[in-house]
Structure 1
Amino acid sequence: MNNLYILLTLKVLLLLLPGYTNGQQNAANVAGHPRLILLKGEEKALIEAVKADRYKLKVHNEILAECEEILGTVPVERIKIGMRMLSASREAMLRIFYLSYAWRMTDDKRYVERAKEELAAISLFSDWNPSHFLDVAEMTIAAAIGYDWLYDELSPAERTQIRDAIRTKGLVPSLNSQYNWWLKATHNWNQVCNTGMLMGALAIYEDDVELADQLIERGKESIKLPMKDYEPDGAYPEGYMYWGYGTTFNVLFINTMERAFGKAYDLSSTPGFLGTASFMQNMTGVTGDSFNFSDSDLGGVLQPAMFWFAQKTDNPSLLWVEREHMVKLSANVREDNRLLPLTLIWSKDSDLQAMDPPKNKLWTGKGKTPVALMRSSWVDSTAIYVGFKGGSPSTNHGHMDVGSFVMESDGVRWAIDFGREDYRLLEAQKINIWKFDQDSERWGVFKYSNLAHNTLSVNGELQNVKGHAPLINFSETADSTTATMDLSTLYPQLTALKRKITVANAENVTISDSYAGGATENTIRWSMLTDATVKLVDGMHAELTKEGKKLLLHVNSPHDISLKTWATDFDYVGNETVIVGFELKIAPHQAGDIVVQLVPCR
């Protein structure tokens, strides 16, 4: 009797534990295979949606064409480059996701058989490189999609092999404190790694409910940390490229939860998260290139998460830029497009053929990295575009580019940003680029310093890594847009420094810097990086020429300066670069304004 009483008491206590209760609910409600993203039987509606829209059909055909190329390759191999195996993980994800999609959409046996070869290959890897856990996360997603989507086509032995690999090489290492530091991170590592563990756990859910529930509940709490970075407006601190990485996986986490358990999972109600789609839309210039501040690449690429946001917010104009990327897809179908099938799954109910352009010409966001994104038109190919940023060099992947901007007109980007340096090359030279202290080796890399950006330098010194430039004012009228950042804390040599940028009448851009000097004499350097040919007309004027177009750079004030150029010894998309600007000596406590206009010559 006593033993029975003890057993009953233990069962009651277990039911009262949050994790146990969630586990029972999850076990009762989880969908059958396939349960990740695209559920069983949903292929038919997706096929019809693809056929009815020429943009979707183009993407679909590009995926199938890539699958044909994959059929002629050998399975992915475990190759490390430096400390990373990420290239192998990403290649596996692309191949398995594309082939599994192609199988479900066409019933062509060649695709499923080839996907099984890839799954067998990665299952036999000695490990998935847990010391660089992004590698594990992306490989786990690859294996999870293949296992779940091809479940009915796998033999019992194949299921066992893949399931064991997901568990031992993917999920279990995430319990090791040596590898799971990302659980407390506030950046893209958290988003990607938690999504990998969630998808792996759900793929093999019924075979290890206890482990799966533990990882699901852990991920639901942990992923809230990076989602706070979107507050208050949706500006993403790490810039264009890492928005595409972190946010896409964050959306994948939310969507995976909702599809697997058949109910809303309202992480998307976090302040700023839904607004971040507008941030990303406006981060692409008129040329189609991105505002590539910090560690970002220049080229704009198709962003699957934007299709989820468009459906979630019932705002098809969010896809205005993405539709153009769909048209250009064949030129770079493999370039960062391993999650390409998501664009079709998440746009199933969107009409991409009938769409109005966005309305606002100014988008601003505050938070860790404030931005002001301005343009004179969404439909004029000669329109002016300006991307302007504040924030701090200490932000993850940050540069000393606070106050910097890019500028376009007449289909040309005149004021440019180098964007990221190749991490592997720097790491191979034993340069520690992942510390963000004032004396970090990171700032010895020219492309990371303020001297390489379209901002100010004082006495040739670095910006203060502990400084932060907030967005303090902005406005939009029928004829102009303007925004102001307070850069004062970036320059301790000065008492105050504020930068205002105005796009006026679709005719010019004015950069105004208001300064107040410090206790000693200082030299302010104003600089703009360009890959145009620069002709110094006189001390106050320079003429920039590129692609048969011209831009006039005119210094309105002060009048005691002389424009000059500085060499960079670096190329930008194959073009030689140069810095144009000037230096200004200011007396102790002197206050004044620096005003420069950029005027397209039409």
Structure 2
Amino acid sequence: MSNSKQHPHLYFTKTDLPKLKSKAKHSTFEKDYDAIIARANDNLIPTLDIKVDEHAILNQPLCRAETCAFAWQLTKDKRYLNKAKDTLLQVLKLPEYKNNKNDNTFSLGISAFASHCARTFDWIAEELSDEEISLFITKLKDEIVDLFMDECQAKNKYLYGNRTMNHLSVYCGPMAELLVVMDKHDIDLSNEIEIVRAHLLRYIEWYDDAGVCLETNGYWAYGMGNAIKGLLAFKMNGWPNIFHQKAKKLDRMCYPHFYFHIEDKTVANFNDCPYGVSGQILTRHFSRTHKDEREYSIPEGCDARFVHSNIKTLALIFAAEFQDKKIQWWASQFKYSDSAGFIFGDPNLESEPPVDLPTSAVFHSAGIMTLRDSLIDPNAKLLGMKAGRARGKVFDDPHCQFDLNSVVLDAFGTTLLADPGYLHDWSTGLRLDDPDHISYSTKAHNTILIDGQGQLTADSPIAHFQQLSPSEDIDYVVSRLERGYGNQLIKFDRHAYMVDKDFYVIIDEIELQSQNRITWNFHGLKDAIYKHEGQFSISHNGTRLVLLPFGECSLSCQYLTDHFLPRLQFDTTENKKTVTVGWLLLIEKDGNDISSFKANLNSSKATIEDIKTNKKWDLPIVSRKASIESDIMIPFPDRASI
């Protein structure tokens, strides 16, 4: 460890300041600098009257103090120093810290508070008296460090593996920062530091090996963002090579999310991640916590949930650490970073558009694949599909939804097949595994229902991908659902094709134990235009998706609005035990002619023909050799009995 009594040292030292300040005028970072100063100016408000029963929002005033402390380091404007110092000292006078008056556990709110405390303290410590520093160390040791260590027991399901998810990193990343800035201030925290470091490294191992249960996009920036900032604290304070592991698990971390975006828009928004443009301006109203009911405007690129992390920040950090020019280019697609991105981003690293990467990819550990025609065109076509795990007794992760074999589709800058993304709905009292939940249930996604029912917790839903592309002009991936709908389902294989980098085909092979009604849902945006008679279509912003079902199965179509998103719902006109249905997805823009396409289906292939251009494609259907599960679920062979 470095000499922890010399501050700042968490992320940078005094000798780093000239180089850091020079970034303010660099084209890559000038917007980030302006946003940091703008936020600091916005935070120059009277110190809040923080009461004991309002500890759930301690991270909010400390978040503002942190921003002002960083602005102080960059500008030496004492207004920022005074604001940061006044807020920190007021918080230190509180008798105790809790998530709320009834909860004295180490919680997500307390962990965010710990992170903001660590950075604020590090960046203004040189302006604090010995008495104030002693008060900080004693107070945070008694109220935060000891609380965290008490939670590091087998009783804590997040820290000890009973429910390993982003809480592990959200607890440990901030604690790494706090322990590093407190260590050696007349206190030895080396034991606590080793425990936290081990937890963070275990989280990274789990994240890579978890078997397709991972948070993606915005939620990746939350869980992994906390872990990375903890690792940065270690990197700068005695573990310079902590990012560079032989397994290369961090080196490739950005690429799934890279493929899930078009410019700064989250497209393949499966699992618990927000949907849409990552840099949009958000406004939250904190009437519960501010007596003046002041509206707090969150600048572009910031997180409305105050999780102090975003995608551009991680992209800049990874690009700099691994000198990856393609990730540097990806970072440039987003509007703003935060202080960590500003500090650790490399202004000398050139960006390189990913023109040499395959445009379609399968990410087995993330459980998502994308078929797209370009990685750099803002008008790119992108079909995403979800495999992986949902919830269940084998894997209990509430950040996985019942969305296996679901698809989304974007083209020409607009969404045509939409997914609701991250929409907790606490107001109704619905459990997260309730079949009627607004976004978690299968009904909310673009996949199938059997007799109106979706995927079940008791059946531990799971699916896996196979990449089977037969030629340069046909990208072909199949998602094979192993289990999920109870004993009723034997097989649900969804075959997805991108043909000639132009249009998509989906073929669904479904086998049931007995005859039943099968339903397909295709959701679009709320303001899209839907046509459910004649030529089925979803149109938005001048782009139209035409859905042409083909095969021998007879289907009916309705336009319905009883889900969170409107949809076209297709149903079998009679109950079926075995069915194969094809879907030709044609994208119409600026009057391009799509009327000349024809499709035929048999047991081994689909034939797509464009009569106008005299082009013809045979799409192979690689079926399972038998209706059996793969070995991915061994030793859990039974279905609903687990």
Question: TM-score by structure 2 length?
Answer: 0.78
Q: Contact 1:234–1:365 at 8 Å: present in 2 too?
A: no
Match of 2:566 in 1: 578
Find out whether 1:95 has 2:64 as its counterpart. Answer: yes
Tell me the SS of whatever aligns to 2:566.
Answer: strand
**Counterpart amino acid of 2:197?**
K
Equivalents in 2 of 1:366, 1:281: separation in Å?
15
Question: Whose helix proportion is higher, 1 or 2?
Answer: 1
Equivalents in 2 of 1:194, 1:76: separation in Å?
29
The correspondence of residues 219-298 of structure 1 with structure 2, limited to 5 A, is 219-232=196-209, 237-261=214-238, 263-266=240-243, 268-270=245-247, 272-285=249-262, 288-298=265-275
The correspondence of residues 346-495 of structure 1 with structure 2, limited to 5 A, is 346-351=344-349, 354-358=351-355, 359-367=357-365, 369-394=366-391, 395-422=397-424, 425-426=426-427, 429-433=428-432, 440=433, 442-465=434-457, 466-475=460-469, 478-491=472-485, 492-495=487-490
Match of 1:33 in 2: 7
Over aligned residues, Cα RMSD in angstroms? 2.7
Match of 1:21 in 2: none
Q: Contact 2:531–2:559 at 8 Å: present in 1 too?
A: no
Tell me the SS of whatever aligns to 1:562.
Answer: strand
Find out whether 1:505 has 2:500 as its counterpart. Answer: yes
Report the alpha carbon displacement of residue 175 of structure 1 after superposing the two structures with TM.
2.1
- CA deviation vs aligned residue, 1:262-281 (integer Å, no higher than 9, x gap): 53225754553321210121
Report the alpha carbon displacement of residue 458 of structure 1 after superposing the two structures with TM.
1.0
Equivalents in 1 of 2:204, 2:454: separation in Å?
30
Q: Contact 1:542–1:554 at 8 Å: present in 2 too?
A: yes
Report the alpha carbon displacement of residue 499 of structure 1 after superposing the two structures with TM.
0.8
User: What is the total number of aligned residue pairs between the two structures?
Assistant: 537
**Counterpart amino acid of 2:225?**
T
Equivalents in 1 of 2:107, 2:479: separation in Å?
37
Match of 1:342 in 2: 340
- CA deviation vs aligned residue, 1:376-421 (integer Å, no higher than 9, x gap): 1123332201221112221331211111121011211011111222
**Counterpart amino acid of 2:353?**
D
Aligned counterpart for 1:196 among listed residues 167, 174, 190: 174
- CA deviation vs aligned residue, 1:351-375 (integer Å, no higher than 9, x gap): 46x53235321232213x4110232
Equivalents in 2 of 1:32, 1:66: separation in Å?
27
Equivalents in 2 of 1:118, 1:110: separation in Å?
12
Q: Which residues of structure 1 form unaligned runs of 5+? A: 1-25, 330-336, 434-439, 571-576
Equivalents in 2 of 1:379, 1:79: separation in Å?
51
**Structure number with higher relative contact order (C-alpha < 8 Å, ≥ 6 residues apart):** 1
Tell me the SS of whatever aligns to 1:42.
Answer: helix
Aligned counterpart for 1:544 among listed residues 538, 547, 553: 538
Identity %: 19
Equivalents in 2 of 1:388, 1:319: separation in Å?
26
Report the alpha carbon displacement of residue 79 of structure 1 after superposing the two structures with TM.
8.3
Aligned counterpart for 2:334 among listed residues 317, 325, 329: 325
Per the alignment, do residues 195 and 380 of structure 1 end up closer, same or farther by CA in structure 2, a change over 3 Å counting? closer
Match of 1:150 in 2: 124
Tell me the SS of whatever aligns to 1:55.
Answer: coil
Report the alpha carbon displacement of residue 490 of structure 1 after superposing the two structures with TM.
1.9
Match of 1:182 in 2: 158
Per the alignment, do residues 117 and 293 of structure 1 end up closer, same or farther by CA in structure 2, a change over 3 Å counting? same
Per the alignment, do residues 467 and 459 of structure 1 end up closer, same or farther by CA in structure 2, a change over 3 Å counting? same
Match of 2:289 in 1: none
Report the alpha carbon displacement of residue 285 of structure 1 after superposing the two structures with TM.
3.2
4+ long deviations beyond 4 Å:
28-31, 78-81, 178-181, 232-236, 266-271, 429-432, 585-589
Equivalents in 2 of 1:158, 1:445: separation in Å?
49
Q: Contact 2:263–2:334 at 8 Å: present in 1 too?
A: no
Equivalents in 1 of 2:205, 2:398: separation in Å?
14
Per the alignment, do residues 561 and 290 of structure 1 end up closer, same or farther by CA in structure 2, a change over 3 Å counting? closer
Match of 1:215 in 2: 192
Aligned counterpart for 1:597 among listed residues 584, 599, 605: 584
Q: Contact 1:453–1:529 at 8 Å: present in 2 too?
A: yes
Equivalents in 2 of 1:282, 1:50: separation in Å?
30
Equivalents in 2 of 1:101, 1:374: separation in Å?
42
Equivalents in 2 of 1:291, 1:383: separation in Å?
13
Report the alpha carbon displacement of residue 456 of structure 1 after superposing the two structures with TM.
1.0
Match of 1:5 in 2: none
Equivalents in 2 of 1:266, 1:346: separation in Å?
13
Question: TM-score by structure 1 length?
Answer: 0.82
- CA deviation vs aligned residue, 1:212-267 (integer Å, no higher than 9, x gap): 11211111222233223332599661222220101111111211111011532257
Report the alpha carbon displacement of residue 93 of structure 1 after superposing the two structures with TM.
4.5
Per the alignment, do residues 170 and 443 of structure 1 end up closer, same or farther by CA in structure 2, a change over 3 Å counting? farther
